[in-house]
Amino acid sequence: MMDDPLWLEAAAAVQSDLDAEVRAEAHDLYTVEASRSRLEDRVGDARILLRCGISFDGRIAPERVAGHLVIDRPGGLRVVVPVPAIVTVVGSVPGMRAEGEPEPPGIGSWLREAWAAGDVVHALDGAGVWWVGPLAFVGADHVEVDVRGRRVLLPWATVESWAT
């Protein structure tokens, strides 16, 4: 009976219908997950181009900062880039977030940790100028960087990348 061509054809038709249902369900799940995916969820190696025209390569880090892409650069430099400063990302792939995962800390928390640790910060402004020095103050929407004894105020919105 198993060698009967009609039986084999019927079994193949049933299996084909089941396969189509599984593919449709998988596509629906993929669509839902894709709609939740944000730029900050990307993973892997990437080349990042910023609005100011500067680009760099690195590996997207597992650390998360809300509204930012965190990139590990060669030499141990960690770069935190606000999503609106990004023009293109080449080479990364979408990442998945766990359902119900809490929002990561914001840039204010990240900057306050760097301030408390006395880290030297490299802040790239929208004009392509690097401001390098320890943080002297972290406000609600701006920082002051001690650049060779002179305090430079930088509104967060004007910074295209932060690095420590």
The pLDDT, as a whole number, for residue 112 is 96
The pLDDT, as a whole number, for residue 20 is 73
Which residues lie below 8 Å from residue 78, measured CB to CB, with a gap of 6+? 61, 63, 70, 71, 72, 163, 164
pLDDT mean for each 10 residues of the chain (164 residues)? 68 71 72 73 94 95 93 93 96 81 90 95 95 97 97 96 94
Question: DSSP code of 65?
Answer: B
The pLDDT, as a whole number, for residue 1 is 54
Q: Which two tokens stand for residue 90?
A: 């080449």
Which residues lie below 8 Å from residue 102, measured CB to CB, with a gap of 6+? none
The pLDDT, as a whole number, for residue 4 is 72
Whether 123 and 129 have beta carbons less than 8 Å apart is answered as: no
The pLDDT, as a whole number, for residue 120 is 95
Place of tokens 């420590």: 164
The pLDDT, as a whole number, for residue 100 is 75
Place of tokens 């839902």: 32
The pLDDT, as a whole number, for residue 9 is 73
Place of tokens 């997950």: 33
Alpha-carbon span 104 to 82, nearest angstrom:
14
Whether 46 and 129 have beta carbons less than 8 Å apart is answered as: no
Whether 86 and 47 have beta carbons less than 8 Å apart is answered as: no
In the chain, the domains with their CATH numbers are 39-163 (2.30.30.600)
